[in-house]
Chain A
């Protein structure tokens, strides 16, 4: 038996063009972690259940364990490593919205996409988005506090002329 064929590709990750060898069956999560050294996205179930692997694809939250790397060709991939001091990161820090931190990159990427898509999300919308991630350490109330603080800021900014 022999190894599977791999192909060369260029992925756009965090605003950089990255050349990589990948197999058609490789998930995006696998390629990010094992080939590109971007270990921020975490494996938690490889099944779409936990959200720890969430990244943004063209600005939308995606579970990278459910996506093949080849599907992300010609798309903009953003991982937690691509966020630099964003308000939501700051809010997570201030609100103690994590403990072990394992679910955190996934949560932040999900929040980031949500806040860009629906900057003034109401509570139902927030719940709808954030239900796709699991945090086992916090009581979620801290995460709620962090997200709401940004929504509130967005609303205030909008009201200003």
Chain B
């Protein structure tokens, strides 16, 4: 058997091309009630009154929820009411909810709810939020319940702060002959998964709360419903069928809470709450924004001696996962470079914007935009080749990270090799820019990347294997199939280890928290690592059981047996053996005696040796390994109208052993596409009142078919010793350097520093004007 590295077709492929794959909202069994939200038209306002009278009289209305106080929620800080009561803090925040027989009736009634608001001054970006006289988004910040390692500052808009203090800054600056300083800014944007979020809830007569949700974290839903609403944890059952794209946005628990409350109000009947696209963009959590300042100091030879960083994340109105995002950014704040002296303050700021969920890359594409743009500035000032500067400072085994973790050959990938490979692919030596006539310039921008996954130090994953009478195996894992193909990869790992046909492995696609073993969350590119290890352990377990039964039947020691090709046989004489199918359900001797029974295997893997980051210095081990890579973007820029086309995008990433080549390339390419879309066109347009002006896919417009560049994806392989067959995470890395590489390419092409996102022609025009270029059209 040889399944590692093969482009095995995903297990659910035919279901997905024939319309049979079921997503949460596809359940339309009769009798389901439908909920509809009423959301705030203001970014910050006091709620003066809510009148629900008319709504409750609409035909078919079963419940109306408004003005009632529910327990505060939030993963790091409990600062968020599921439905706003006294005050709304962002445009689109849920204020009331109607449950009715049909979606139309629910909408009709929702439109009749009258809410009177008194507008309050808004905090419209994180820099404003930090000012002394800024309005406070949470006056009661000091009174909220919170996790131990979050550090809000009551009386300010700071929801969390993480400090990195490594080395000696004075020394670092003293050794620096050249310094650069740059400022960056971009607003929140959206995940825009094609499937809008949907949650359903039913409360059975025995009190079981059954939730079906398009979620990346069903086990977290179970835990939080229990914690917030005091339902016995065993009574919460969460099911997740296929998920139509997550990218981190479905790892936050939000809609599920409302579906639960709606269901309770409707006497436990099954209620469906499906976001419209506008609600999915406005009301549900979004992609975080950032204002940043970066200072780098280096010797004239380009050896970086000091880095000072200030990150002000736009966490929005509630801290939820944003507090964590700002911490993860601090942990990898320097980018993949070996810098001895580092000072970083990473703040999660409250603003009156939609609040943030994790987003593919968990704040890394954001921080890397700031770092990698500054690296280009430094290279320019030094008069040094941009890739050479990166190569010289590239992080390597033997170096330490900003949080002072020593790196070795296994826990960090091979960045210099990635840079060398990238250099060849993009014909770097031909120059970064070329005038191709007709007022057009071709320019190349590069970016290096790295990431570790700052995840809970006890995150784990379990796997159960059960046999069928024909010797085939059912594989149950709590991983959600959000599109990454991880469940297929798990089948490959199992087939490889058991040396059996992959067609004999049946992977359960849906997750049910009652019958599927727990997998922490399907995020952070950790799926293959955690669940892969669990699969191997479960495989060992069934192999041991098979050998035990076979040893009785074959009258041989279990240790003399081997399992492979659907058989258990004597190692030194394969002709003596028994088919797995004959013992998968135990074995019956000719005289009727039976031994064993259905073979059930289990495996589990927990992260180990992770530590919390120190409050004052940041020292600690936040994640198991650092993946690295180097990326480039080539643009064709029109000097007259400042428009451009993205011609080519290249990624060379070290994801360790590649388990499924086409699937891995697809992951990287898809992430690159998302990164280019974020870098070039995606942002919320806020008006002066903090309202989002573009909450539809025609005004919030992701990249489309004809705009895709040529993608080149190449791998450098440094196996991670710890992981199943040496595979590192792959789901996020493609996105990480795309905004930065695009920014670098366009800054070269346009001849001005572009430090904001998205990089629209209008932005380029504004910057050119500010820099005193006469009219760009001439």
Contact = CB atoms under 8 A, between A and B. Distances in A.
Interface string B480-492: 0011110000000
A131 B705 contact: yes
Given A43-B25, A96-B662, A100-B482, 9 more contacts: A34-B28, A39-B22, A93-B13, A96-B10, A98-B483, A101-B244, A103-B244, A131-B705, A136-B194
Contacts of B669: 138-139, 141-142
Interface stretch (A56-64, A66-74, A75-83, A150-158): A75-83
Nearest to A102: B244
Interface in B667-694: 667, 669-670, 672-674
A100 B59 CA distance: 38
Contacts of A40: 18-20
13 contacts: A2-B59, A25-B104, A34-B28, A40-B19, A44-B196, A80-B18, A89-B14, A93-B9, A96-B9, A99-B484, A136-B702, A140-B673, A143-B705
B705 A44 contact: no
A4 B103 CA distance: 13
B763 interface: no
B277 A101 contact: no
Contacts of B703: 140
Nearest 3 interchain pairs by C-beta: A40-B19, A102-B244, A100-B483
B560 interface: no
Interface stretch (B45-53, B313-321, B706-714): B706-714
A46 interface: yes
B57 A138 contact: no
B78 to A, nearest CB: 32
A94 interface: yes
B18 A81 contact: yes
Contacts of B13: 93
Nearest to B665: A96
Contacts of B59: 1-3
Contact of A92 (B17, B22, B697): B17
Contacts of A13: none
Interface string B273-312: 0101100000000000000000000000000000000000
Given A127-B705, A134-B697, A136-B702, A46 B276 contact: yes
Contacts of A93: 9, 13-14, 17
Given A104-B16, A134-B194, A42 B696 contact: no
Contact of B698 (A37, A47, A130): A47
Contacts of B277: 44-47, 49-50
Contacts, number: 170
A38 interface: yes
B666 interface: yes
Nearest to A41: B19
A94 B26 CA distance: 26
Contacts of A89: 14, 17-18
A137 B704 CA distance: 12
B672 A139 contact: yes
Interface of A: 1-4, 25, 33-34, 37-47, 49-50, 52, 79-81, 83-84, 89, 92-94, 96, 98-105, 108, 126-128, 130-131, 133-144
A6 B195 CA distance: 29
Interface of B: 7, 9-10, 12-23, 25-26, 28, 57-60, 104-105, 192-196, 242-247, 274, 276-277, 482-485, 662-663, 665-667, 669-670, 672-674, 696-698, 702-706, 708, 710-711
Nearest to B22: A39
A50 B697 contact: yes
Which of B194, B485, B670 has the most C-beta atoms of chain A within 10 angstroms of its own C-beta?
A: B194
A96 to B, nearest CB: 5
Given A46-B276, A99-B483, A136 B192 contact: yes
B19 A39 contact: yes
Contact of B696 (A25, A39, A47, A81): A47
A101 B696 contact: no
B674 A140 contact: no
Contacts of A2: 59
A137 B196 contact: no
A33 B19 contact: no
Nearest to B192: A136
Contacts of A141: 669, 708, 710-711
Contacts of B242: 100-101
A115 B192 CA distance: 29
Contacts of B245: 99-100, 102, 136-137
A101 B192 CA distance: 15
Contacts of B274: 43
Given A96-B7, A142-B669, A49 B710 contact: no
B672 A103 contact: no
B705 A140 contact: yes
Contacts of B196: 43-44
Nearest to A47: B696
Which of A41, A81, A131, A141 has the most C-beta atoms of chain B within 10 angstroms of its own C-beta?
A: A141
A99 B13 CA distance: 9
B23 A42 contact: yes
A139 B670 contact: yes
Contacts of A128: 706
Contacts of A41: 19
B673 A39 contact: no
A153 B666 CA distance: 24
Which of A45, A96, A131, A138 has the most C-beta atoms of chain B within 10 angstroms of its own C-beta?
A: A96
Given A1-B59, A47-B696, A93-B9, A99 B670 contact: yes
Contact of B18 (A4, A83, A134): A83
A33 B16 contact: no
B483 A137 contact: yes
Contacts of B20: 40, 81
Contacts of A140: 673, 703-705, 708
A1 B243 CA distance: 38
A31 to B, nearest CB: 11
Nearest to B244: A102
Contacts of B244: 42, 100-103
Nearest to A86: B17
Contact of A81 (B10, B19, B22, B194): B19
A34 B14 CA distance: 23
Nearest to B10: A96
B194 A33 contact: no
Contacts of B194: 42, 44, 50, 52, 100, 102-103, 134-137
B17 A104 contact: yes
B706 A127 contact: yes
Which of A50, A93, A136 has the most C-beta atoms of chain B within 10 angstroms of its own C-beta?
A: A136
B666 to A, nearest CB: 5
A134 B705 CA distance: 7
B30 to A, nearest CB: 10
A133 B704 CA distance: 7
Nearest to A101: B16
A83 to B, nearest CB: 7
Which of B18, B483, B667 has the most C-beta atoms of chain A within 10 angstroms of its own C-beta?
A: B18
A25 B104 CA distance: 10
Nearest to B666: A96
Contacts of A96: 7, 9-10, 662-663, 665-666
Nearest to A126: B705
Contacts of A44: 194-196, 277, 697
A98 B488 CA distance: 14
A102 to B, nearest CB: 3
A80 B195 contact: no
B21 A101 contact: yes
B710 A131 contact: no
A99 B705 contact: no
B704 A134 contact: yes
B60 A3 contact: yes
B9 A94 contact: yes
A137 to B, nearest CB: 5
A46 B194 CA distance: 12
B450 to A, nearest CB: 22
A134 B665 CA distance: 20
